[in-house]
Chains A and B, each alone.
Chain A
């Protein structure tokens, strides 16, 4: 049984109804508990719970401190290529978008890696668009070998692969996989992904599990907040993480709540997520999934990111460039617009000033 079968057991309308009908007394009862079920998580993301953010924040802070200490792991993305055959309506790399398509040669990659590692970054996330022609698994493997010389942890966020392909990458130095479902509502998914291999909802949904089976140390899931109603999306994202932690206890599962940002093209965000909603999702996730890592990218504004530290966030990107070759030369046609353009050093100082330790290295390739 995969998570696809689990998902079939839930009727989205029933889930929404349950969430909408939560009462204040349900929230106070759940807040007093020490461990939570998926049903409790529904209570925490309900409209009724939205007035309990302060109480939730206090509890989330205490849990975060206990499990992760006063520290935040820093990482940076590195875009290898932006060739893409998909036409996801919301994405800057959409096949129909007229942007300059590029792919890093291995020599250019060395320059990028050198430039990025000189900032102190030790954990890296390699990204590509979906193109088996321009960025096949062999190419990704070669890139992994190159960057392993400069970084102590290498994760990938590329198009969904088969278990065997992931295993090949693990053997060559990859230890983490990030793969967002984008949207858990299958009908919305179909609308958002009108063409390309990404149309296969089930194959994508089962990707994190293939990563777990392949020997990845850490696997991150997430939904692109804003594509469908956030309460149900937040529920299914957390349910996915919950399913994976129970089935693959040896893998570090993490969760991300990326919000839609403006990009090349003219996509209107269908269900925008405001700051209060974002914080509610974050806090509810921390209470429900105590040991799960939570990542916040530079899609969020600096003021907002700074204030989330200590409330559940365990990992942040810093000094990010979301364009191919962006660490050597900035051009401005990235996958999404960065809202926090502070340097690694500025993020480092900000964490110290808030009483938190920036952790640059939290894994060592062995």
Chain B
């Protein structure tokens, strides 16, 4: 195992950038996005998987060495999420499942209570459960206790590209929960992905910011570099933030020199 490994569901991941598969102009772009982003984990909406269509089935466009993370997009409650998860497994999408329960089509905010219920059921069934949630410490702890493999708080409402607006709450989750915290949704720019990683997030999941960029493939690489930079900065330990400027050559340094010259 390498020194700074992220292990989820027993798999040592080579990239801390997770990507989505929706919103692209064509599924045939996905291999290029995977290649340039270096991403290994790709999330796929089960509702969009069409096993009957050779050309339009997006699973056929995801490189075989990727880890599939099917998601329960479209589920409005725990029961529907559980049914979609089981369907994903039956389709041959593996055991990973990102639980996404949204009962609010206006702001598209996840329903934490229903997500927790689905986490409890699916973890018992042996799924590698990654719940997508509104950042809230107590619910995240309950998800951990229920057997979640990681917790995925949103940075801002999905698709908004507004960045890490929930920073304080995510920071507390990183400090308090001994599970990988993956910032999912809202990250709009590579600098914001780096910010999440500097904070200590285990990974970030990006879709809209890449898919809606002028050059999606170029943006995928930019995110890859930003996530690496953010992670390196976190490991290196960023310096303390101070209220006043502090010169590299201290103003009172002469006092020490004066003593030594005597």
Q: Footprint of B on A, CB under 8 Å?
A: 65-71, 120, 122, 152, 217, 245-246, 249-253, 291, 352, 355-364, 366
Contacts and interface: CB of A to CB of B under 8 A. Distances in A.
A359 B84 CA distance: 19
Nearest to A249: B104
Give the 5 A-B residue pairs with the shortest CB-CB distance, closest first: A69-B23, A70-B25, A361-B50, A366-B83, A250-B103
B80 interface: yes
Contact of B24 (A70, A249, A253): A70
Contacts of A122: 50
B49 interface: yes
Interface of B: 22-27, 46-50, 53, 56, 74, 76, 80, 83-84, 87, 103-106, 108, 159-161, 208, 211-212
Contacts of B160: 66
A363 B48 CA distance: 6
Nearest to A352: B26
Given A217-B76, A249-B103, A363-B47, 19 more contacts: A66-B208, A66-B212, A69-B24, A69-B212, A71-B23, A120-B56, A152-B50, A245-B106, A250-B76, A250-B103, A251-B105, A252-B105, A253-B105, A291-B108, A352-B25, A358-B56, A359-B48, A364-B47, A364-B84
A152 B23 CA distance: 20
Given A66-B212, A366-B80, A250 B49 contact: no
7 contacts: A69-B211, A249-B104, A357-B25, A357-B27, A363-B47, A364-B84, A366-B83
Contact of A362 (B48, B83, B208): B48
A152 to B, nearest CB: 7
**Which of B23, B53, B80 lies at the interface centre, i.e. has the most chain A CB atoms within 10 A of its CB?**
B23
Contacts of A120: 53, 56
A69 B45 CA distance: 14
Contact of B87 (A65, A246, A251, A364): A364
Nearest to B23: A69
Contacts, number: 79
A355 B56 contact: no
A366 B47 CA distance: 9
Given A249-B103, A249-B106, A291-B106, A362 B47 contact: yes
The SS class assigned to the B binding surface is loop
B84 A366 contact: yes
Contact of B25 (A250, A356, A362): A356
B105 A291 contact: yes
Nearest to B84: A366
Contacts of A352: 25-26
Contacts of B50: 122, 152, 360-361
Contacts of A245: 105-106
Contacts of A69: 22-24, 208, 211-212
Nearest to A355: B25
Contacts of A291: 105-106, 108
Nearest to B108: A291
A152 B45 CA distance: 14
B53 A66 contact: no
Contacts of A356: 25
B208 A357 contact: no
A357 B21 CA distance: 12
B105 A70 contact: no
B56 A360 contact: yes
B87 A250 contact: no
Nearest to A361: B50
A68 B105 CA distance: 13
**Which of B83, B105, B160 lies at the interface centre, i.e. has the most chain A CB atoms within 10 A of its CB?**
B105
Contacts of B56: 120, 358, 360-361
Contacts of B23: 68-71
Contacts of A71: 22-25
A71 B191 CA distance: 27
Contacts of B47: 361-364
A152 B46 CA distance: 12
A246 B107 CA distance: 11
Contacts of A355: 25
Nearest to B79: A366
A68 B56 CA distance: 18
B113 to A, nearest CB: 14
A230 B184 CA distance: 42
A35 B104 CA distance: 17
